[in-house]
Structure 1
Amino acid sequence: MKRNKFSFFALVIGLMVVISGCNSFGETEKTSTKDSGKSDGKKEAVEKVLNLNNSSEPGSLHPGTAEGTHDSWILEHAFEGLTKKTPEGEIVDGMASVPTSEDGINWIFKIKEGMKWSNGDPVTAHDFEFAWKYALAPETASEYAYQLFYLEGAEAYNAGTGTVDQVGVKAKDDTTLEVKLAQATPYFLDLTSFYTYYPVNKKVQEENPKWFTEATSYVSNGPFKLTEWKHKESVKLEKNENYYDKDKINLDVVNFVILEDENTAWQMYQSGELDLAYPLPQDVQGQLAQSNNKEFHNGPDLAVYYYNLNNDVKPFNNIKVRKALSLAIDRKTITENVAQGGQQSAYSVVPPGIPDVNGDYQENTGNLFTEDVEEAKKLLAEGLAEEGMDKLPEFSILYNTLAGHQKIAEAVQEMWRKNLGVTVTLENTEFQVKLDREKAGKYQVSRAGWVGDYVDPMTFMDLWTSDNSHNDANWKNAEYDQLIKEAKQTMDQQVRMDNMHKAEKLLMAEMPIIPIYFYTKPHMVKEYVTGVYTPINRYPQFIYADVDMDAKE
């Protein structure tokens, strides 16, 4: 799940909200416990409203083209896949009954009776087949198409060397979806709950290819439906009355205000305009972590914070230069004095929380490099000499607009200046613009983050294969590619894990990216809000949340 996030216009809007004390989400919150005026003194039914912040304007709210957490947080509540996960992480029935497979290759999903889209259309197996093939189609140019390459014929179709009919997904009728994988995949059922595997209403897509760009034409199948989208300002979700499990959905309205400044979000939370705030200002979360505030929540996150080095740009093409930059960063100072969210310094790329054959994968990996300023100086001098350069020319760190990213970039900037004598400038931009520039290779060093799409090391390790669309470092290594390919082609867990450990060591030996820390998930939730849960690889989920509106008032 790609990256993490926030425009000046949105900041001004947010500040206006704080100053005025008015609600920027419309009138829904004002309906809370209003008396009906009836002689019996009874109160009207109360709309349960949850207000929170999304840290960037969504880049795409189409399951087939979405790629970031600024998209997925909304999609995860507006859509549902063949399967879904419980708050405890168990894979259970979603739109379909969870099947079993004798060979791990052939799967048959049966769409459950009564599944409907938000517009009342039935959800069919054809919608899933259509959605998966849409994401794979070369002309769609989906950044996440590779997550469907587990299907037989999918990679060839996406590359233009195969046909759509050869892709291993077929709706036999309205309720039966046959899936054939290229090879057995241990985490395939986990993937069917991921947003690239969500269905798309085939009829809606064919009648209006831009249905997903505005709330008025938006159609989804999850617990909530999109009813308002004021671009770069706010997004409004409402309970989907056509959702099969609607009786378990307590919230009537969910309002996202789009804020690229976590300080403004924190101010709005303190003033009661937000019920859930994430992310938090770094100094604030540091203070809260030391307090007994019952509204502060934190926990592990299946995610790594890192810097891309553009391997196509000289001298970042040189291994020694890349390693020098990594070894000159004091991660403990960043985690304890800058990030302040209980993060763990990263000396590898796969975070804790993923099982190995025995024990935890990251713990078994250990530290694959150590910080060493003197070694960094030596490597930098050797690398520059190999490139025919006397010194490292001035370059910039690109990051998306967020005070936290800026503070980390400033810390790294100073460490590189002090330890290596390097002059670095800082450049911030909107999150989607940053993603676009990385794709185009128009950067030197860029801030990045990756949240695991599923609970397996492969969700991190295949990022840096030569043909992965998210390999923004533009690094290529044939040995690495082969190790990952072999790991994907076997069900033998020992072989899989051994290959990925070898690949990770190779990755850190060549250092095309610089890991900084493993994320945590510090966030605030008002005490009158219950039922919010935080899967290890997802933002806080409010599907089953409830709000005590009397206490809120």
Structure 2
Amino acid sequence: MQVRRLAAWAALPLAVTLGLTACGKSGGDSGSANQNGVVSIGISEPQFLSPANTSETGGSQVLSALFAPLVDFDEANKPFEVAAQEITTTDNKTWTVKLKDGWTFHNGEPVTADSYINAWNYAAYGPNAAKNNYFFDKIEGFKALNPADAATKPETSTLTGLKKVDDKTFTVTLSAPFSEFKALLGYTAFYPLPKAAWESDTAAPLVLKKDFQEAPIGNGPFKIKGTWQHDSQVEVEKYDAFAGTKPHIGGALFKIYQNSDAEYADLLANNLDVVKQIPTESLSTVQGDLGDRFQQSPSSSFTFLAFPTFDPRFKDVDVRKAISMAIDREEIANKIFQGSQKAAYSFTSPVVAGYRDKTCGTACEFNPTEAKSLYEKSKGPKELNISYNADGPHKQWVEATCNQLKTNLGVECVATPEPKFADLLTKVEKKEDVGMFRLGWAFDYPSMENYLGPLYSTGGSSNYYGYSNPEFDSLVKAGTEAPTTDEAIKKYQEAEDILAKDLPVLPLRFGQNVFGHSTKVKNVAIDLFTRVDLNKIESVG
């Protein structure tokens, strides 16, 4: 999700199997629940608060309160209907979505088929430059909305694959069969939007109101209270007319932090209810600090180091390979993360079907002698820097990585902080000099494809480094169109093998949710998408 995707905080230990537990749960049954209580949750500053554009965990945590998805996922990672009554297909190409009755937006508007069709057309329309545009590329008509020449205005503004049947039913025709399409519909980009979101709901193409994301109107269990207070907070309150599963709290206050240590200090002082990621520096003391209020649960998160393709210093794959071999992943996992971290040697997470260990091969094996020889032979740069977001717990491990590169390659290396994750992404998008940069990913839906397509496909929604390989794209496409899961996985694995040769990024670690909560809440759970489950958490007293 629906948090998934690029994560400001992802630097986490791994749960090796989903069999450990589907989601962490803490707080027991002590204390009486307060149905009107407001819980506070720490997040990073969102980059956006609109379904078409939100692709990082801070904004997605907020949107998961304001919107309800068509589907969510059970403990076996299988999608089940939420806002949808049923989603059916006979050929994996044409899908029929029937909505539940009685659902409304926070302004009282009914949720209809048009609510989805309009929102999806807006996100898919190329000139809108939506961050999540990529996720609609499987729907028939996408190419017409996204000409190869971005300067060319599309002749149409709607997807031919979207057809309204009646107010509660619509069909989605894909350009090719995709067996996992139902799971894809759990992603943030597929939330509906009300008529009130548009400058005019009859104009074509639709234009989103400029201030809509300051106070989004959703169909979820909570409605926004006031407006988004940038760099400070977003507050939501229970929407009494919500037709789905009712939460056990009266609202949530998403407190925005630029510094993870300050966030943790607020937790220790009982001024914050949930910290989704314990700072690295506090892992050695957290058990004593929080006792049984310190929790761990499986996560889909994946931390990696990216090379901007626009930077000529990293054009040679041997330079990238040498840097990779100079990093001792196990040492950082054991010393920085107190042995709770799992070093990553593959490009997809162990929590998804089709995962294989050590697909990165020798390029990810620690070999300082070979690394230095290769680096010198390929004339790697004498100075390196690694950019990271300071609103996440990354300083210590990034500096440790830089120290390894200094020692093992004989170069200068500087850890360069950016105040906010949104700032780092914006700089990369503008092709500003950031050097190497850390990124974290949590899946949007449980599939190998979700680690491959968005991150590495040409024009992928979160391909911030500009990687492009037609053979890779072709294999991912073949996987999505495969008639069976086993056949799809085979193609995805072949695509992953290409990444091992090209090394557009360096796998570093797989993660686990490592979180803590105050004495004022119970039943705290964080799922595989690094999202606090707002349907489970309770306020005490």
Q: What is the Cα deviation at residue 219 of structure 1?
A: 1.1
Letter in 2 for 1:396: N
402-411 or 126-135, which deviates more: 402-411
Question: What is the distance in 1 between the residues matched to 2:345 and 2:531?
Answer: 24
Give 1:308's match in structure 2, choosing from 306, 309, 328. 306
Residue 235 of structure 1 is matched in structure 2 by 234
Letter in 1 for 2:449: M
Tell me if structure 2 keeps the 8 A contact 1:339–1:404: no
Q: Using a 3 Å threshold, how does the CA distance of structure 1 residues 107 and 479 change in structure 2: closer, same or farther?
A: closer
197-206 or 60-69, which deviates more: 197-206
**Are 1:138 and 2:126 an aligned pair?**
yes
Residue 435 of structure 1 is matched in structure 2 by 425
Tell me if structure 2 keeps the 8 A contact 1:330–1:371: yes
**Are 1:488 and 2:476 an aligned pair?**
no
**Are 1:213 and 2:202 an aligned pair?**
no
Q: What is the Cα deviation at residue 314 of structure 1?
A: 1.9
321-330 or 83-92, which deviates more: 83-92
Once the two structures are superposed, what CA deviation does each residue of 1:452-471 show, in whole Å capped at 9, x if it has no partner? 11110011112212232422
Once the two structures are superposed, what CA deviation does each residue of 1:307-352 show, in whole Å capped at 9, x if it has no partner? 1112222230001000000110011121122234722101111011
Question: What is the distance in 2 between the residues matched to 1:440 and 1:165?
Answer: 29
Give 2:407's match in structure 1, choosing from 415, 418, 431. 418
Letter in 2 for 1:104: N
Question: What is the distance in 2 between the residues matched to 1:373 and 1:290?
Answer: 37
Tell me if structure 2 keeps the 8 A contact 1:89–1:535: no
Secondary structure (helix, strand or coil) at the match of 1:120 reads coil
**Are 1:445 and 2:436 an aligned pair?**
yes
Residue 467 of structure 2 is matched in structure 1 by 475
Tell me if structure 1 keeps the 8 A contact 2:139–2:174: yes
**Are 1:189 and 2:182 an aligned pair?**
yes
Residue 286 of structure 2 is matched in structure 1 by 288
Once the two structures are superposed, what CA deviation does each residue of 1:352-371 show, in whole Å capped at 9, x if it has no partner? 11123xxxx23495856411
Question: What is the distance in 1 between the residues matched to 2:164 and 2:530?
Answer: 30
Give 1:91's match in structure 2, choosing from 79, 90, 94. 79
Residue 362 of structure 1 is matched in structure 2 by 356
Q: What is the Cα deviation at residue 132 of structure 1?
A: 0.5
Once the two structures are superposed, what CA deviation does each residue of 1:229-274 show, in whole Å capped at 9, x if it has no partner? 322111101001121136x321102111111211111111111111
Question: What is the distance in 2 between the residues matched to 1:222 and 1:271?
Answer: 31
Letter in 2 for 1:245: G
Q: Using a 3 Å threshold, how does the CA distance of structure 1 residues 132 and 476 change in structure 2: closer, same or farther?
A: same
Secondary structure (helix, strand or coil) at the match of 1:257 reads strand
Residue 521 of structure 1 is matched in structure 2 by 513
**Are 1:536 and 2:511 an aligned pair?**
no
Q: Which has the larger share of helix?
A: 1
Secondary structure (helix, strand or coil) at the match of 2:263 reads helix
523-532 or 126-135, which deviates more: 523-532
Question: What is the distance in 1 between the residues matched to 2:537 and 2:351?
Answer: 25
Structure number, greater radius of gyration: 1
Residue 160 of structure 2 is matched in structure 1 by 167
Q: What is the Cα deviation at residue 382 of structure 1?
A: 2.0
Tell me if structure 2 keeps the 8 A contact 1:466–1:476: yes
Question: What is the distance in 1 between the residues matched to 2:103 and 2:209?
Answer: 23
Question: What is the distance in 1 between the residues matched to 2:238 and 2:290?
Answer: 34
Give 2:370's match in structure 1, choosing from 375, 389, 401. 375
Tell me if structure 2 keeps the 8 A contact 1:250–1:545: yes
Once the two structures are superposed, what CA deviation does each residue of 1:95-122 show, in whole Å capped at 9, x if it has no partner? 2212221111111112211110011110
**Are 1:504 and 2:496 an aligned pair?**
yes
Q: Using a 3 Å threshold, how does the CA distance of structure 1 residues 169 and 301 change in structure 2: closer, same or farther?
A: same
Residue 409 of structure 1 is matched in structure 2 by 398
Question: What is the distance in 1 between the residues matched to 2:258 and 2:173?
Answer: 42
Question: What is the distance in 1 between the residues matched to 2:490 and 2:184?
Answer: 22
Residue 99 of structure 2 is matched in structure 1 by 111
Residue 261 of structure 2 is matched in structure 1 by 263
Tell me if structure 1 keeps the 8 A contact 2:113–2:166: yes
Residue 42 of structure 1 is matched in structure 2 by none
322-331 or 474-483, which deviates more: 474-483
Question: What is the distance in 1 between the residues matched to 2:62 and 2:159?
Answer: 32
Tell me if structure 2 keeps the 8 A contact 1:77–1:222: yes
Q: What is the Cα deviation at residue 89 of structure 1?
A: 4.4
Question: What is the distance in 2 between the residues matched to 1:146 and 1:341?
Answer: 37
Question: What is the distance in 2 between the residues matched to 1:529 and 1:292?
Answer: 13
Secondary structure (helix, strand or coil) at the match of 1:380 reads helix
Structure 1 unmatched runs, 5+ = 7-32, 34-44, 385-390
Q: What is the Cα deviation at residue 283 of structure 1?
A: 2.8
**Are 1:344 and 2:332 an aligned pair?**
no
Question: What is the distance in 2 between the residues matched to 1:286 and 1:205?
Answer: 50
When the two structures are superposed, what TM-score results if normalisation uses the length of structure 1? 0.85
Residue 10 of structure 1 is matched in structure 2 by none
Question: What is the distance in 2 between the residues matched to 1:326 and 1:166?
Answer: 43
Secondary structure (helix, strand or coil) at the match of 1:65 reads coil
Tell me if structure 2 keeps the 8 A contact 1:87–1:535: no
Letter in 2 for 1:547: S
Secondary structure (helix, strand or coil) at the match of 2:45 reads coil
Question: What is the distance in 2 between the residues matched to 1:451 and 1:46?
Answer: 31
Letter in 1 for 2:463: N
- Percent identical: 26
Secondary structure (helix, strand or coil) at the match of 1:335 reads helix
Question: What is the distance in 2 between the residues matched to 1:489 and 1:51?
Answer: 43
Count matched residues: 498
Q: Using a 3 Å threshold, how does the CA distance of structure 1 residues 203 and 51 change in structure 2: closer, same or farther?
A: closer
| Root-mean-square deviation (Å) | 2.4
Q: Using a 3 Å threshold, how does the CA distance of structure 1 residues 314 and 518 change in structure 2: closer, same or farther?
A: same
Tell me if structure 2 keeps the 8 A contact 1:145–1:158: no
Residue 223 of structure 2 is matched in structure 1 by 225
Secondary structure (helix, strand or coil) at the match of 1:279 reads coil
Letter in 1 for 2:69: G
When the two structures are superposed, what TM-score results if normalisation uses the length of structure 2? 0.86
Residue 2 of structure 1 is matched in structure 2 by 5
Q: What is the Cα deviation at residue 53 of structure 1?
A: 0.9
Once the two structures are superposed, what CA deviation does each residue of 1:7-38 show, in whole Å capped at 9, x if it has no partner? xxxxxxxxxxxxxxxxxxxxxxxxxx9xxxxx
Residue 273 of structure 2 is matched in structure 1 by 275
Tell me if structure 1 keeps the 8 A contact 2:264–2:275: yes
277-286 or 100-109, which deviates more: 277-286
Secondary structure (helix, strand or coil) at the match of 2:415 reads strand
451-460 or 92-101, which deviates more: 92-101
Question: What is the distance in 2 between the residues matched to 1:98 and 1:181?
Answer: 18
Question: What is the distance in 1 between the residues matched to 2:254 and 2:247?
Answer: 18
Question: What is the distance in 1 between the residues matched to 2:52 and 2:338?
Answer: 35
Letter in 2 for 1:5: A
Question: What is the distance in 1 between the residues matched to 2:247 and 2:116?
Answer: 24
Once the two structures are superposed, what CA deviation does each residue of 1:129-151 show, in whole Å capped at 9, x if it has no partner? 00001111112101211111121
Q: Using a 3 Å threshold, how does the CA distance of structure 1 residues 234 and 374 change in structure 2: closer, same or farther?
A: same
Tell me if structure 1 keeps the 8 A contact 2:459–2:466: no
Question: What is the distance in 2 between the residues matched to 1:336 and 1:136?
Answer: 44
Q: Using a 3 Å threshold, how does the CA distance of structure 1 residues 363 and 186 change in structure 2: closer, same or farther?
A: farther
Q: What is the Cα deviation at residue 417 of structure 1?
A: 0.6
Question: What is the distance in 1 between the residues matched to 2:268 and 2:525?
Answer: 21
Q: Using a 3 Å threshold, how does the CA distance of structure 1 residues 494 and 161 change in structure 2: closer, same or farther?
A: farther
Q: Using a 3 Å threshold, how does the CA distance of structure 1 residues 189 and 264 change in structure 2: closer, same or farther?
A: same
**Are 1:74 and 2:73 an aligned pair?**
no
